[in-house]
Amino acid sequence: MSVRPVEMADGSVRWRVTADVSPDPNKRKQKTMTFGDEAEANAVDQQYRDELRRRRADYRRLHGDRNGDGGMTVNDIIDNYLDSPLLTCTDRTRASYRGYLSHIRDRIGFRPAHTITADDIKHIIEQMTTCGRRRGGTPGTALSHRSAMASITRLRAAYELAVFEGKITRRVIPIDPEPGVIVLDPPADTRE
């Protein structure tokens, strides 16, 4: 975008603004406007720059561009959740949530938030219910299905908060149409 002087045939000077108007950073579309006053031309140029910056940020957020606002990782979503003033709970509960989410961090925390699938969630639950224990027993043994589901529930809550705050555009953690129910098959009851 630029503002440049243009000399007219009668010798007067007008100011031409060329502005990028495409929200898609991969496509180019320009608009050219001419003004009699340099201050007006600069104001319009700044207005188009601000609008373009906002539209490109929206585009990146929608398409999950890693360099844009939508490029959060799962760890970023979890940190946002645990540090949020909207999470009104005691420090002990927050520490419990941090423990539940540590399993998620270790397995998929580095990944972009929008790339998590139902298969990833099933894999995490499978790992936790076969060899997820770290303390309170023999490390490497199975955690209960309830503990695994509590971890996924906290992850879902972290995603919902990020959507609510506008940090991401959609929650990718699979849930049933009925809110609060996660779509995953419970393990067969082996107790008899």
Summarize pLDDT for 64-121 with one digit per residue, the tens. 554 444 578 889 999 999 988 888 888 898 888 898 898 888 888 888 888 788 888 8
Report, in angstroms and rounded to the nearest whole number, the Rg of the chain calculated over CA atoms. Answer: 25
Residues 6+ apart with CB under 8 A from 11: none
Q: Tell me: pLDDT of 14 over 90.
A: yes
Please tell me the total count of domains within the chain. 2
Same domain for 78 and 160, yes or no, is yes
- Average model confidence (pLDDT) across the chain: 78
Q: Is 29 domain-assigned? A: yes
| Domain span including residue 115 | 74-164
- As a whole number, mean pLDDT of residues 165-189 equals 59
Q: Tell me: pLDDT of 29 over 60.
A: yes
Give the domain-ending residue among 63, 82, 112: 63
Give one word for 136, left, alpha or beta, with left for phi > 0 and alpha for psi -120 to 50: left
Same domain for 38 and 87, yes or no, is no
Same domain for 39 and 8, yes or no, is yes
Q: Enter the pTM of the model.
A: 0.56
Same domain for 91 and 54, yes or no, is no
Cα–Cα distances (Å) from 81 to 86, 104, 122, 148, in that order, read 8, 13, 22, 18
Q: Is 79 domain-assigned? A: yes
- Measured in degrees and rounded to the nearest 5, phi and psi for residue 40 equal -65, -40
